[in-house]
Structure 1
Amino acid sequence: MNIFLFVFYAHIPFVKSNDTLINVQAIWRHGVRDFYYCNWGCNSKNKPNGDAQILTPAGMRQQYVLGKWIRQRYIIDNQLLSSFFNENEIYIESTDYNRTIMSAYCNLQGMYPQGFEIPNVTEDKLLPPNPGSKSPNIGNYALPYKISLIPIHTKQEEQDYALAIYCKITDSIVESNRKTELYNKINSATQTQELFKRFNSELGLIEEKQVNDIIELAEWRDTFTCNRYNGDNLPQKLSAKTLFYMDQIALLSFSLRQFQNWEQSKLYSTPYLKQVIENFDNFINGNSRVKYRGSSSHDSTMLGIISGLNLTSAQCQADIYLNKSQSDIFCLTENIEFSSNLIFELYNNTENGLYVRILYNGKYVPICSQKGTYCQYDRFKSLVSQQFIDYEKECNLIQEVQREVVYNIPIWSILFFLLVLLCTCGVFILIFMIKQMKDPASSDSDISK
């Protein structure tokens, strides 16, 4: 049963003077990157590989502006954080990809635009010991242009369940999802087939090159989105109408691909939501002083969490797409664009205690019910925790039992050890025999007794 359909059990009146924001956890998708798929304007020479989809200047600007927005809200308006970086107050993490790490740095430049000043020491203390080193003309700041550098923590992808949602069964889930009745219904719907036809015609795709699958269409849409953000050209005959309908089906395609049912949504949302609860608990119990935790991630991470919070689902998106009647539910249908963000705010109310609110792209969304945007923390924690899944077990990530290491000892070392042992024993025997020969009277006396 979907846990977020429970009726909100306690309404908390918002009285600004009685409420104090005490902790924030934010997660965002990286900014605009280079194209990911090699489908248009791409050949074998410039085909991306590895981590080639780096953050572009447009993506840098996006994240910088997002950082300024966060600064305004949590440093200036709410005064949750200090004006200058304090390592005891914030913790920033990122997946181990260039575009997410770069996004985090750009975001932090917006949060903390003024860097550190150098201490009052002699000039020679500010230079490395290299001969010919000269002090730059940058005033009293440590780095040029008042740049502030703040540490960003990463894990290898294979160990990063919360942000990279590394899972060994993802490929099999996608393969299985592409064979479901719901997937085939959307793929064969009249409006989808018309979109395929229009798209293939405008791009001049024929025979085996034609697109007839919504996931493949979403890959083309991703390329065109990157082009639009980065100022690159689009196919001349690609109409605005076709782009509009490609945008309309983008999130549904993604949900059908990897987050098609409630079990899949629970699976992929478990690591991050469990981390949210643990971080809030540690702060509440005095085990952590971190007031702000920022996480730089991907659209797949974001959609998993949003689905796990029941803010959207493949089914509700499909119903809207097929123009089916809707019950009074909340269902996000817009695609998770670059720099989209989800922020968990923990407040303390003098009368009602701790409660949580969630912002998605700067707007409060329903939490613990379909209409309420407030949820007492204990209730939120209880509801979220009920849906946790053993992620490592389900994703086949449980480490094998470590086997006893058998060391192969070289034969020569064994022989050498035996030789030393024999020599040592021989020496002791020789010493004993010499002693007996020098003191025969003592031996005779002992025998006579």
Structure 2
Amino acid sequence: MFNRNVIGASVGLGSCLAAGVGLKMFKKSEIDKNDTRVKTQNENRKVLLDGYDLKQVQVIIRHGARTPIHTMYNVEQVDYSSKLFMGDLAHTVYNYKSVNLDGGPKPKSTYDAHYSQPERLLKGKAIRGDLTKLGQDQMYVIGRLLRKQYIREAKLIDSEFDPEQVYIRSTNTNRTIGTARCIVAGMFGAESLRKLKEPVEIHIDEGTKDVLLPRTGVCHVLRQINHYAMVHGGDLPGLRENRLLIEDLLDYHPDGTPGKHKLNFIDIRDDIVARETHGYPYPDRLKPHRPMIEENASKVMYYAFCAHQESEREVAMKLSTGPLVKLLLDTIENAENLRQKMYIYSCHDSTLVGLLGLLDVYDFKWPPFGSYVIFETYENKEQQKFVRVSYNGKDQIVRRCSTELIPLEELKTNIGHYAVDKAEYEEICASDILEVIAQDVMAQEKGEVEDIEDKERSDTPAGM
């Protein structure tokens, strides 16, 4: 039975698509107060709180279902190129444009250029990392949920799109830009958006400056941490034994020669999840080990942005997520001086893992497609600010805080020291701090010569 109530899931919708059925779900475009697709695990969560006024909402969301970025060794690729999977859904299409943060032309995307290189195309010429029709509809449904909670119930913003009330920002990839487009379509309806005099603007920063994504390619220290996880993580105790097992099952035996690298759990998981989500099979011999692959991939991802060793953790979190936390806290503190009341940040799993780790609520379960963290800002009658943080619809007690509804000053005390401005970020990135606090990491890398694949791994945030 086709399950329309799944949001942010990496499984549950795909089998019907692969069988060529269930396409009728992609035809719904009207704003329907009885739309059953907004019923989710958090449908009973109350946005309005007695004695408090909701002043602002910030949504940090992972993109929807996509084609794989990485594929498994010695396993035939599957074909995502058919019209069943790719192309824009009509009920998410309207006039929009991607612009730089200053309103100028959209910066070039090095990621999209990388994914679309001819030698990297998937079977059937599909582009790696592209948002699929299923992913678009997932994001449309989340947009409907946001409409239900913040327009219909909380009345925080108007039912018609107004850029004076809603700010939309994305990382510079097609899948996150498409995700932002679909969320807005779900919130306001494509038909209504098509009537606007001006296109909806999705704001984007140049990749080397973008605080929505860990910048491993420009920060020397963060690159070292990412390198340790992505290149050497498979040799850590516990992971190494599991890696060797999966390499045997895939008949993959790197011999140390150029082009031969150890299996990476993130790669294996990426291909499996894309197949599961879109209804494609993966090798039966891997199925008994699916939970182990998931767990180990989630660990490596955490180590890439929050570090493997406790001694490095604060530095890692400051560099991977501190600039984003500064943006979030600054936006909360300046709520009364800002035009917009709702902020949508379309991001990646790497963004969420770093943020969840910093908030100390990461459960070592990979954030599924469409996962989201929401910061809600409230005021009481004395005009004191409070913040409530939720993850996939469940309110969280974040790092060292005592309650789900957190006085702003308490939140700043407990996570504010992770927030870094441009000057502090650049100072840490240029330092040799790991040589002081992480001698094991440096010993692992001493005398190491990176080849092309290792360099790409180190420069690119885990999961990208």
Band the TM-score falls in, shorter-chain normalisation = 0.5 to 0.7
Amino acid at match of 1:19: Y
Bigger Cα Rg: 1
Amino acid at match of 1:258: F
The offset of 1:72, in angstroms, is 1.1
Match of 1:159 among 199, 209, 234: 209
Whether contact under 8 Å (2:390, 2:396) holds in the other structure is yes
TM-score, structure 1 length as denominator? 0.65
Change (3 A) 1:158 1:197: closer
Whether contact under 8 Å (1:56, 1:230) holds in the other structure is no
Change (3 A) 1:64 1:52: same
Match of 1:255 among 293, 299, 302: 302
Partner Cα separation in structure 1 for residue 237 and residue 184 of structure 2: 45
Change (3 A) 1:237 1:17: closer
- 2:69 is aligned to 36
Match of 1:290 among 326, 340, 344: 340
The offset of 1:251, in angstroms, is 1.5
Whether contact under 8 Å (2:213, 2:350) holds in the other structure is no
TM-score, structure 2 length as denominator? 0.63
Given the alignment of the two structures, is residue 62 of structure 1 paired with residue 138 of structure 2, yes or no?
yes
Given the alignment of the two structures, is residue 168 of structure 1 paired with residue 224 of structure 2, yes or no?
no
Change (3 A) 1:212 1:105: same
The offset of 1:157, in angstroms, is 0.7
The offset of 1:384, in angstroms, is 2.9
Q: Deviations over 1:127-168 (max 9, x none)?
A: xxxxxxxxxxxxxx749xxxx963211122122133454633
Partner Cα separation in structure 1 for residue 401 and residue 364 of structure 2: 16
Change (3 A) 1:376 1:59: same
Partner Cα separation in structure 1 for residue 241 and residue 224 of structure 2: 29
Change (3 A) 1:392 1:51: farther
- 2:331 is aligned to 279
Given the alignment of the two structures, is residue 244 of structure 1 paired with residue 295 of structure 2, yes or no?
no
Partner Cα separation in structure 1 for residue 316 and residue 346 of structure 2: 22
Match of 2:175 among 99, 103, 109: 99
Change (3 A) 1:97 1:353: same
Q: Sequence identity of aligned pairs in percent? A: 24
Show structure 1 runs of 5+ residues with no match: 1-13, 118-140, 313-331, 398-449
The offset of 1:273, in angstroms, is 0.9
- 2:52 is aligned to 19
Partner Cα separation in structure 1 for residue 210 and residue 395 of structure 2: 28
Given the alignment of the two structures, is residue 391 of structure 1 paired with residue 431 of structure 2, yes or no?
no
- 2:91 is aligned to none
The offset of 1:52, in angstroms, is 4.0
Amino acid at match of 1:41: E
Q: Deviations over 1:180-205 (max 9, x none)?
A: 8xx58x8332xx45533543344333
Given the alignment of the two structures, is residue 223 of structure 1 paired with residue 271 of structure 2, yes or no?
yes
Q: Deviations over 1:242-284 (max 9, x none)?
A: 1122112221111123321222012222111111122122223
The offset of 1:207, in angstroms, is 5.8
Superposition CA RMSD, Å: 3.4
Match of 1:311 among 345, 361, 366: 361
Whether contact under 8 Å (2:305, 2:353) holds in the other structure is no
Q: Secondary structure of 1:116's match?
A: helix
Change (3 A) 1:69 1:178: closer
Show structure 2 runs of 5+ residues with no match: 1-46, 79-116, 308-312, 432-464
1:426-445 matches, cutoff 5 A: none
